[in-house]
Amino acid sequence: MDGTDAAPSDGALGGPPGAGPDDARRAEAGAEAGVLELHVGPMAAGGGCVAHAPDGRVVFVRHSLPGELVRARVTSETARFLRADAVAVVEHSPDRVDPPCPAAGPGACGGCDWQHAAIPAQRRLKSELVSEQLRRLAGIDATIDVEELPGTPDGLGWRTRVQFTVDDTGRVGMRRHRSHDVHRLEGCPIAHPAVEAVGVEAHRWPGVERVEVEASAEEGDAVVVVHRARSGPRTGTRALPAVDAGLVDGRRTVVPPDVLRHRVRGREFRVSAGVFWQVHPAAPAVLAGAVLDALAPVAGESVADLYAGAGLFAALVAERVGNQGAVVAVERDGAACADARVNTADQPQVSVVHAGVTPQVVTGRLGRPDLVILDPAREGAGRDVSAALAALVPAPRRIAYVACEPASLGRDLRVFLDAGWRLASLRAFDLFPMTEHVEVVAVVEPPSA
């Protein structure tokens, strides 16, 4: 998509492209309460650009792009900074496009940060954000190209897991940004077709707080997981609408199936409703390939797979180390452990440990791993776990860290670097088009390597 040709014309975020500011427009902007005219600078973590208010405070401006002149309505403020939404664009970036979703904009759905940016620009901005976070938090000066995943060149129709919020009337939607208010939806353009085929938006869900739809891109199957409201009148399961999918009410299976099947690199994986699985259809194979290529496991080696989930990495690395090798998969979620045991049932070299990843587990339950895989949640592995891994004797020959939050990765990498480890490789992947989020695979090697 060409960002220059697709720049919007007059509208809520429009205006004549290339028009310059004048005194009358500035006066008009200032006359409207809570609206500032701002030149916005680089993108910041959180999905908005950095600008400065007339009083010198930093302003984080959503729905803007670097270099634009915008009129922004202040949505919240503190003594140090403000948050604002760009409600009109005076001078457009050439990377600006019309959002494909009508709910993407100020005061509407808070799910997508960057639908107003052309896809190439999104990847460039993500590259800059990753570089900035690693430079600031880990002292790493590196330029990272964010790699496209196959199957979604327009950034739409990829999300195989979507969580909808239910309003007081039982209708589903998405929360507005930094709000408990629900914006109703009739459809979600980034949702995978198998998710949209369930049609949860067309039904009422009385007594329900959230409805999560999980789908298998390979099989086209879906499971709906219902989370009941914590307060207010409770409604029997007979009140739940009939949908063409499995239905799980809390932890109780109402309509089977309550598991999905995924195929990755020739293996089938069972994933129970509610168990973590990558939301982009291509992500499991792409990330597994990146990890295996970087670690280069060989027959007979031992591997620790931490935050193992349903056993994706454990099963695939076990194929490389063979029956003479060993894989210890550590996961704190019991349902995920059950899936991992099923998914590695044909691999006696895999042991699944139901435990949280702690320094004590690192020093006492992993043995002497030649290789380590980390795939933590957004908060990262943390300083203590990272320090325990960096201090293992003998040191693993490589550690692969799969991160969905560059800031957490940067903080943890700093621990390894301070202990004398070195960064061997770094790759980033566009697992989450239309948002600021990005997945990074970093590999570190010990001082003796």
Rg (CA), the chain: 24
The kind and range of the H/E element at 81 are strand 81-91
Show the tokens assigned to 385. Answer: 């776990």
CB atoms within 10 A of CB 153: 11
Q: Are 372 and 303 in contact (CB under 8 A)?
A: yes
- Catalytic-role residue among 49, 109, 337, 404: 404
Does residue 101 have an active-site annotation? Answer: no
Residues 134/358/331/316 CA torsion (nearest 10 deg): 60
Q: Is the peptide bond before 394 cis (omega within 30 degrees of 0)?
A: yes
Q: How does DSSP assign 83-134, residue by residue? A: EEEEEEEEE--TTB---SSTTBSTTSB-S-S-TTB-HHHHHHHHHHHHHHHH
Beta bridge partners, 261, equal 270
Contacts of 78 (CB under 8 A, 6+ apart): none
Q: What's the rounded Cα separation, in Å, for the pair 192 and 160? A: 5
Structure tokens at 81: 């900074």
> CA-CA distance, 427 to 198, in Å (whole number)?
35
Tokens of 401: 């860290």
Show which residues are catalytic.
404
